[in-house]
A and B are shown apart, each in its own frame.
Chain A
Amino acid sequence: MSAVGWIIIILNIALAVDAGRRPASDWAAADRNKAFWVVLLAFLGIVAFVPYVIGVLPRLAEAGRVSRGSPFEKRSAGSFGKR
């Protein structure tokens, strides 16, 4: 496989991981289906790459920016513990 192919594969995996990592509220605010896009990115590679970067990622970024620090978000058990 060529270097370009490997780059695309790595980018897709990175995007799939990034998509999976984003909280459910960001996906809800972006009005997109998380499971659908994570599976698409993980298994269909280049087919999902362009529509995701153009149509989904900007919405997720905006939703994340708006919802950052929401007082209603659950806090995972850790240094601050659960509410």
Chain B
Amino acid sequence: MSFNVLTIRSGLDAGDDVLHPMLSDAAIPEIIAMDGFDGRNVMKVVATGVRVLEIRAGDLKTLAQFREVKIDVYITDGRLALACEKYDKGGGWVGFGGAGLLVAVTANAVSKARAASRRRGRILVGHIRYPWLKSVGASSKSGWASSEAIRLGYSEKGSGATVHKLLELTLPKNIDAALVAQEIVHRAAAYRLAYYPSMTAEQRAASTSLIQAPRLAPPPKKFAFHHMPAYFHVTAGTAFPRQAQPGVARPDAVAPAPDAPAADAPSSAVMVGAVAPAAVPSPALRPGGAHRAARSDCPGGQVPGPIGGLNGSPPSGSATKFCTQCGTRTVAGDNFCAKCGAALH
């Protein structure tokens, strides 16, 4: 079964955010729940449309499209995530003449109300994690029929064949898509350097140069791309870096709080319950959130390797737990809830 980068989440959804983002609490401004790799410097930009494209024989086939909607796009240290609350707007009725106009107004009102009812409590979400990121492109507005847009390339293994896809986001005309793409590629390259220390020298050099990649200058009505030196196919197992070499810290690692325990063995920080279209043999390894105590067991030492990714089986660990006070998911080994501070033991 192929991977759909976009999905619809509700607040009642259980599971994890490996393949698709989870929703945050209503009290938090960000719609999407952040994880340990997102860091603190989350940049937000609003997009007006999203498309999922598949590259087939040199042509682009649109798999999904949402236009004229408000999409909150989050650029983090670990991924590009998006959330759209009003993905189903309804409306679209047109009338001519007095009576026609009245009918159209009424029909639009009913249609919009029905659409609101259909999507109540549900949000369209999606993300491209940086291990999956194959390329980042931008196109600038040059004329009436064009628009500012970015494209993120990724790939997946489907029925033996590799399928290459693009996530395209249309941006408002006063936003510089090339700058957005530059920010994404800088962060993705930094992520690779931080969490994949065993890259080949060539990949390391390419990633280092991408950290200082200049702003793209796309030709009119076309896209220009930055290409990552290596990438993983989209699976739950490749969403996060594997266990790091000792001493490799996350970019946003914070010093341990006075009450926090010493870092445990790597196997104590585990994500369970990966949700994926295809079954994943064992869960990936993942550290706690950025606001939690730093852990020297932070993973990240998996070599990206050649295109095609690696099939690894990180060690499993203890189950995910939830705070009894606020219900926030916690990582086994934490003594305090990262959100409300309640003691977990």
Interface, chain A (partner B; CB < 8 A): 23-25, 27-31, 33, 67, 70-74, 83
Contact = CB atoms under 8 A, between A and B. Distances in A.
Nearest to A27: B172
A28 B46 contact: yes
Interface string B16-58: 0000000000000000000000000001011110000000000
Interface string B174-218: 111001100100000000000000000000000000000001000
Max chain A C-beta neighbours (<10 A), residue from B46, B68, B173, B179? B46
Interface of B: 43, 45-48, 68-70, 86, 171-176, 179-180, 183, 215
Contact of A28 (B172, B176, B179, B180): B172
Contact of A72 (B45, B69, B70): B45
Contact of B46 (A25, A74, A83): A25
Contacts of B179: 71-72, 83
Ranked 9 nearest A-B pairs via Cβ:
A24-B172, A31-B70, A25-B172, A23-B174, A29-B46, A28-B46, A28-B172, A74-B176, A24-B173
25 contacts: A23-B174, A24-B172, A24-B175, A25-B45, A25-B46, A25-B171, A25-B172, A25-B174, A25-B175, A27-B172, A28-B46, A28-B48, A28-B70, A30-B70, A31-B70, A31-B86, A67-B46, A71-B43, A71-B183, A72-B45, A72-B179, A72-B183, A73-B174, A74-B174, A83-B179
Nearest to B140: A74
Max chain A C-beta neighbours (<10 A), residue from B171, B175, B183? B175
B172 A70 contact: no
A72 B46 contact: no
A70 B176 CA distance: 10
A28 B23 CA distance: 21
A72 B47 contact: no
A33 B183 CA distance: 28
A1 to B, nearest CB: 26
Given A28-B48, A28-B172, A74-B176, 18 more contacts: A23-B174, A25-B45, A25-B174, A25-B175, A27-B172, A28-B46, A29-B46, A29-B70, A31-B69, A31-B70, A70-B175, A71-B43, A72-B45, A72-B175, A72-B176, A72-B180, A73-B174, A83-B179
A28 B48 CA distance: 6
